[in-house]
Amino acid sequence: MVILLLYVDDIIITGSATDGIQQFISALRKEFDIKDLGYLHFFLGIQITKTKAGLFLSQEKYIQDLLKKTEMFDSKAAATSCLPYSRLLKDDGQPYNNPSLYRSIVGALQYLVFTRPDIAFSVHQVSQFMQAPMESHFTAVKHILRYLKGSLSTGITYTKGEMVLKSFSDADWAGDPNDRRFTTCLVMFLGNNPISWSSKKQHTISRSSTKAEYRALSSTAAELDWIQQILHFLKIKLQDTPVLFCDNMSAIALSFNPVQH
């Protein structure tokens, strides 16, 4: 089997046999002018380092370039990506005088979430005010940058392990002060490796925490099914039935009730 990942004109090729990969590269050379860069080290701003444990993915250089661009490279590091229990208001303070810069920085932070799930919720917050950012919103963006300054080398290590798929789902209680919507958070693991994560506001307002948690379970289950389809397409067999974790007993009881669905 040969697997190809294509993004515009950047390609990653892997497979189950070295000979098959080389034959595929030779076939590509006959049709296109390509350059073989050897083993994977850098791809679209993501650094890949091979270690004894497995593969380590980070975006350290990407963060450094972003800090230099925003003149935050010499700033004081922050311990967290946002202040505890802080939620941003859409009309808090004065309008920020450079909305284009705000959108540019937040867009860069969104790409950074690919290897930094620890900033997913903070980036989710500041992403909601792209149209009309306030000074307080830009202060929150700078706080994220200060956190990144203190955690430049943080990334994700992927190691060999059991082919078991498990996911965790959660939702807050009317956490957004602007519209009282709930935020769904999820993370999925293949073995001990995180492969998918998200922090996203729910489309509708729930009247109870049970319904909000159930909506989060539904979204996570859909993502879980999509991941299973990808694994099936790649002919990767799971060792056991995927498990979905939730900390709300009412939502769990509702999901097990055959009368409800």
Distance, CA of 243 to CA of 245 (rounded, Å): 6
Q: Which of 151, 131, 154 is nearest to 143 (CA)?
A: 151
Q: Which of 78-87, 161-170, 173-182 has the highest mean pLDDT?
A: 161-170
Across the range 52-67, mean pLDDT stands at 92
Which residues in the chain are classed under CATH 3.30.420.10?
161-256
Q: Which of 198, 178, 197 is nearest to 189 (CA)?
A: 197
- Confidence at residue 16, expressed as pLDDT on a 0 to 100 scale: 87
Confidence (pTM): 0.84
Mean pLDDT, rounded, of the chain: 90
User: Residue 197: how many CB atoms within 10 A of its CB?
Assistant: 19
The yes/no answer on whether domain 161-256 falls in CATH 3.40.50.2300 is no
pLDDT(63) > 70: yes
- pLDDT band at 209; cut points 50, 70, 90: confident
pLDDT(86) > 90: no
- Confidence at residue 260, expressed as pLDDT on a 0 to 100 scale: 67
